[in-house]
Copies of this chain bind each other. A is one copy, B any other.
C-alpha cells in the first residue's frame, strides 16, 4: 500500500492546475468553471475528445499506463475524474509529490463496482432495494425466488443508461438474461422497485469536511437515459429532508470528495431507496449552471482544491434541464435548429462540441428558469426539441 498523498498541499504553483481524467461533457463544463476563475486545466483522454478540445491542454495517451498517468499528473495541483471508469486506482500509487487526487481511488473503486457500492451502503444502514451479489446462476435464481419477480440483473462494472442491465419477469427470462450478461464474477441481482419517481441529490464535499447539498431534484428517464431534471422536485418536504439525510450519509459512507451524485427511488408510500452513486459532477446537476448561485462544476473544482464551497441555493424558484440527445448517426452535426431554439425566452443552450451524432448520444442540454414549473418545463423542452430535431 502506497502512502496516501492525495491531501498534500501545493505551494509551488501560483495558478492552480486542474488535471481531469476524461474529456467528455462533464470534463468540459468542469474546465469552463475552472477557466472562469483563472485556473489552468489539463485533460488526459484515452482517445481524441471533441468536448475537451480548445479548453486546455489535451493529452491523448494510454491512461492505464502508470507512467503516462504520472507524467500527466506532474505539475497538476489536483487530479480529478470525470467518470467512475477513470483510472484513479492506477494513478494513486504513482501520484507525484505535491499533487492531490480527489476523489480518492478507493471512493471511485467502490462506486465503480455496483456490488461493492451496495455492500458499503448497506453496511452504513442506508435504504436500498433488496440485492444479492450472485456468482452463479443458481444463486441468482435463489435470490429471484426470495425477492419475487421481476428482478433486475446488473453487471458489476460498465453498466449504465440501460446497458449491461436486464429486467427479468420470469425464471426463463432470468436464464436468458444471465446468459447474456454474466461475467466471471457473476451479476448483481436486485429486486425490482415499484417507484413513483426518481430523485437525485448532489453533495459537494471537500477533503477538509466542508459539505453543501444541492436541492432535491426530480429526474425523468426516457429509454433508460436522463431526459429531464426539475429543481426542486415537487415533493413532500419530509421526503425532501429524508432524501438529503440519506444522500449525505451515502456520500460520507463512500468518503466522496468533490461532487458526488446520489440517485434515489421514491416509493408509493414516500419511502426512499438509493438507486446509485456517481463520484463526479452529474447530468442531474447541469441545471445548476444557471439555476444555482454556484454550479456543481464550480463547487467540484473548489472542493477538490479544498477551497471554501459556494452556495448551492436556487437563484429562481424553478429550474428545468432537458437533455439534447442525438436522433440519428452523422459526422456533421447540424445546428440549424439552434437559432430558432434561442428565440425561446429565458433558456440557456449548452452544446458539447461533439462532432459525431449518434442516436441517444448526449449532445447538449437546455436549461430554463422561472417561477411556474409548467411554463419552465415547456420552454426547456421546446428549445431542446428544436435543436435535436435537426442535429
A binding-site residues for B, Cβ under 8 Å: 14-16, 32, 35-41, 54-57, 293, 302, 305, 307-308, 310-311, 315-316, 332-335, 338-340, 342-343, 345-346, 348-353, 355, 364, 369
Does A343 contact B308, Cβ atoms closer than 8 Å?
yes
Does A55 contact B35, Cβ atoms closer than 8 Å?
yes
Does A16 contact B335, Cβ atoms closer than 8 Å?
yes
Q: What is the count of identical protomers in the complex?
A: 2
Does A38 contact B346, Cβ atoms closer than 8 Å?
no
- Give the chain B neighbours of A350 by CB distance below 8 A: 36-38
A-B pairs, top 6 by smallest CB distance, nearest first, are: A38-B351, A307-B339, A308-B343, A14-B332, A54-B56, A308-B342
In the complex, A38→B37 CA distance in Å?
Answer: 21
Q: Whose C-beta in chain B lies nearest to the C-beta of A387?
A: B38
Which one, B16, B57, B316, B342, contacts A310 given CB within 8 A? B342
- Give the chain B neighbours of A332 by CB distance below 8 A: 14
Q: Whose C-beta in chain B lies nearest to the C-beta of A36?
A: B350
Does A333 contact B14, Cβ atoms closer than 8 Å?
yes
Given contacts A32-B32, A38-B351, A311-B345, contact A335 B56 (CB under 8 A): no
Does B335 contact A14, Cβ atoms closer than 8 Å?
yes
**Interface majority SS (helix, strand, loop, mixed), chain A:** loop
Which one, B54, B334, B343, contacts A35 given CB within 8 A? B54
In the complex, A37→B338 CA distance in Å?
Answer: 9
Given contacts A308-B339, A311-B346, A346-B311, contact A334 B14 (CB under 8 A): yes
Given contacts A15-B335, A41-B54, A307-B342, 20 further A-B contacts (CB under 8 A): A14-B332, A14-B334, A15-B355, A16-B335, A36-B348, A36-B350, A37-B338, A37-B351, A38-B333, A38-B338, A38-B350, A38-B351, A38-B353, A54-B57, A293-B345, A293-B346, A302-B342, A308-B342, A308-B343, A315-B315
For the complex formed, measure the closest distance between the CB of A24 and the CB atoms of chain B, giving whole angstroms: 14
Does B36 contact A32, Cβ atoms closer than 8 Å?
yes
18 CB-based A-B contacts, threshold 8 Å: A14-B335, A15-B333, A15-B355, A32-B32, A32-B36, A35-B55, A35-B353, A36-B349, A37-B349, A37-B350, A38-B335, A38-B349, A54-B55, A293-B346, A302-B339, A302-B342, A308-B339, A311-B346
- Give the chain B neighbours of A305 by CB distance below 8 A: 339
In the complex, A333→B310 CA distance in Å?
Answer: 23
For the complex formed, measure the closest distance between the CB of A362 and the CB atoms of chain B, giving whole angstroms: 12
In the complex, A110→B237 CA distance in Å?
Answer: 60
In the complex, A167→B108 CA distance in Å?
Answer: 64
Q: Whose C-beta in chain B lies nearest to the C-beta of A350?
A: B36
In the complex, A369→B369 CA distance in Å?
Answer: 16
- Give the chain B neighbours of A40 by CB distance below 8 A: 54, 353
- Give the chain B neighbours of A16 by CB distance below 8 A: 335
- Give the chain B neighbours of A343 by CB distance below 8 A: 308
For the complex formed, measure the closest distance between the CB of A329 and the CB atoms of chain B, giving whole angstroms: 15
In the complex, A326→B316 CA distance in Å?
Answer: 34
For the complex formed, measure the closest distance between the CB of A85 and the CB atoms of chain B, giving whole angstroms: 24
Q: Whose C-beta in chain B lies nearest to the C-beta of A51?
A: B38
- Give the chain B neighbours of A351 by CB distance below 8 A: 36-39
For the complex formed, measure the closest distance between the CB of A342 and the CB atoms of chain B, giving whole angstroms: 5
In the complex, A380→B233 CA distance in Å?
Answer: 32
- Give the chain B neighbours of A14 by CB distance below 8 A: 332-335
